[in-house]
């Protein structure tokens, strides 16, 4: 079957080289029993390719079932795929056939294969290699003749490196890979697809088809289409129903397109890099502790610097001059003096050439803690002791103040050998 006949039969719109190549590979591999892995972003139409392969294969008169591996709970996916015996688990009141038994002689399309649990992956590998499976709760090995077509929107090779997908299963599934291009990679097809959807929805809702101005077409071409063909179809339906004027301008088109999906949020650099512990970056408490400790370290360094300035007046003068130079470079002088009110005796003028003198007469050296302990257990013990002292040994009040249960407080008292 030539490509154009294939497109007409399955309603495929587009002439991009990447799409044509994917269709060509699908038609060539259909007559074999080779396992196929269809790769592409969400919304590109991967299931259509599985239907094409089945319809052109010798199995076309046998069952075809599409299974979404990401939609089946982890506790029941083995039962869904391989079946189970009566009483094999709670709720198994009867024996049940799985898909590999039901679809015997046909084709099983397994979408979102990257979401499959590792234990199920091992069972699937045995089916692909030996055409054998065992029902849940049984010891009897059964044979099956099922062609597997898998699909994913993830990079399974990267998933194998993080031990989220079995490497041997990946190479077994990837016998014949078919990559379905995203809509961004086939921009020449965007206007054709939109026109087809507009005509279909005009017939469905009994209205006249919408028309796009040249500027509106350019807006469509410039949009990134993260949802691909599915998103384009949804936009075409929205405009067909909601647009008052059937001639769509660029401004009108932009009203229907979602805003940028990018989020300007800070990220943790290195969180996904090999060798970096997950707990360090994924645990919010650890992140806060790290921030607090870094802040404490900075404060300690500042205390140390001020102490050295008190001991060495010449150093204070040079630091003051350096701060003043940086201040003048970054902030234009406004002609207004800095805080010179006597009540602000803790704010020092940056142009002072005198030694730094604090208004407080306490011994500065005693207030400097350079090697203060940063151990979390020490801090926790210190907080517990302060809470008990504050509430005069009343455990219930101290536990409430600390935000823990009285039982946990009792355990902590034993753990840290605290006498209350």
Asked if residue 388 is part of any domain, the answer here is yes
Taking CA atoms, 359 is separated from 293, 298, 318, 351, 364, in Å, by 28, 22, 21, 18, 11
* Segment among 44-48, 197-201, 233-237, 332-336 with least mean pLDDT: 332-336
Residues 6+ apart with CB under 8 A from 186: 14, 16, 18, 19
Number of compact structural domains in the chain: 4
Mark which of 179, 211, 242 sits at the end of a domain: 179
Residues 6+ apart with CB under 8 A from 272: none
In terms of domains, do 22 and 108 share one?
Answer: yes
Q: What is the pLDDT of residue 295?
A: 72
Give the global pTM. Answer: 0.61
In terms of domains, do 351 and 387 share one?
Answer: no
Q: How far apart are CA 87 and CA 306, in angstroms?
A: 76
In terms of domains, do 291 and 348 share one?
Answer: yes
Asked if residue 265 is part of any domain, the answer here is no
Of residues 383 and 100, more confidently modeled: 100
Of residues 354 and 94, more confidently modeled: 94
Q: What is the pLDDT of residue 393?
A: 84
Q: Is residue 362 pLDDT above 50, yes or no?
A: no
CATH code assigned at 250: 1.10.8.60
Residues 6+ apart with CB under 8 A from 333: none
Of residues 276 and 58, more confidently modeled: 58
Q: Give the number of other CB atoms < 10 A from CB of residue 80.
A: 18
Mark which of 179, 214, 244 sits at the end of a domain: 179
Q: Is residue 104 pLDDT above 70, yes or no?
A: yes
Rounded to a whole number of angstroms, the CA Rg of the chain reads 34
First CA to last CA distance, the chain: 87
Q: Decide if 62 contacts 106 (C-beta within 8 A).
A: yes
Q: Is residue 283 pLDDT above 50, yes or no?
A: no
CA atoms within 13 A on the CB side of 219: 18
Domain that holds residue 389: 376-416
Asked if residue 396 is part of any domain, the answer here is yes
In terms of domains, do 77 and 223 share one?
Answer: no
Tens of pLDDT along 256-267? 998 754 444 444
DSSP string, 65-85: EEEETTTS-TTTHHHHHH-B-
* Segment among 123-127, 208-212, 234-238, 283-287 with least mean pLDDT: 283-287
Task: State both tokens at 208.
Answer: 């006249």
Q: How far apart are CA 253 and CA 249, in angstroms?
A: 6
In terms of domains, do 209 and 122 share one?
Answer: no
């Amino acid at each position: 079957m030539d490509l154009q006949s294939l497109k007409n039969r399955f309603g495929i719109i587009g002439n991009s080289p990447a799409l044509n190549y994917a269709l060509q590979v699908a038609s060539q591999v259909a007559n074999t029993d080779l396992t196929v892995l269809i790769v592409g972003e969400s919304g590109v139409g991967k299931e259509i390719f599985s239907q094409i392969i089945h319809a052109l294969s010798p199995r076309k008169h046998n069952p075809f079932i599409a299974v979404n591996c990401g939609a089946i709970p982890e506790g029941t996916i083995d039962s869904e795929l391989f079946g189970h015996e009566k009483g094999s688990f709670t709720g198994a009141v009867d024996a049940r056939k799985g898909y590999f038994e039901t679809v015997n002689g046909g084709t099983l399309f397994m979408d979102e294969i990257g979401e499959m649990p590792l234990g199920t992956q091992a069972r699937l590998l045995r089916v692909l290699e030996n055409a054998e499976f065992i029902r849940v709760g049984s010891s009897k090995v059964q044979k099956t003749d099922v062609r597997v077509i898998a699909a994913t929107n993830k990079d399974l090779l990267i998933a194998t490196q993080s031990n989220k997908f079995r490497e041997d299963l990946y190479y077994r599934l990837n016998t014949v890979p078919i990559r379905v291009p995203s809509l961004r990679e086939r921009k020449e097809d965007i206007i054709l697809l939109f026109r087809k959807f507009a005509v279909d929805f005009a017939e469905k809702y009994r209205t006249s088809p919408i028309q796009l101005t040249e500027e509106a077409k350019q807006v469509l071409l410039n949009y990134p289409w993260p949802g691909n063909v599915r998103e384009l179809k949804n936009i075409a339906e929205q405009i067909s129903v909601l647009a008052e004027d059937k001639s769509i301008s660029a401004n009108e088109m932009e009203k229907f397109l979602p805003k940028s999906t990018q989020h300007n949020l800070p990220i943790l650099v290195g969180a996904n890099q090999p060798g970096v512990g997950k707990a360090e970056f994924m645990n919010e408490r650890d992140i806060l502790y790290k921030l607090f400790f870094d802040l404490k370290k900075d404060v300690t360094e500042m205390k140390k610097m001020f102490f050295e300035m008190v001991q060495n007046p010449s150093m204070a003068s040079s630091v003051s001059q350096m701060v003043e130079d940086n201040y003048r470079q970054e902030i234009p002088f406004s002609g207004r003096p800095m805080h010179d009110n006597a009540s602000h005796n803790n704010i020092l003028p940056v142009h002072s050439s005198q030694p730094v003198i604090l208004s407080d007469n306490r011994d500065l050296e005693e207030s400097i803690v350079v090697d203060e302990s940063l151990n979390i257990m020490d801090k926790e013990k210190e907080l517990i002791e302060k809470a008990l002292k504050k509430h005069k040994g009343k455990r219930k009040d101290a536990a409430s103040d600390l935000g823990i249960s009285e039982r946990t407080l009792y355990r902590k008292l034993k753990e840290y050998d605290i006498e209350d």
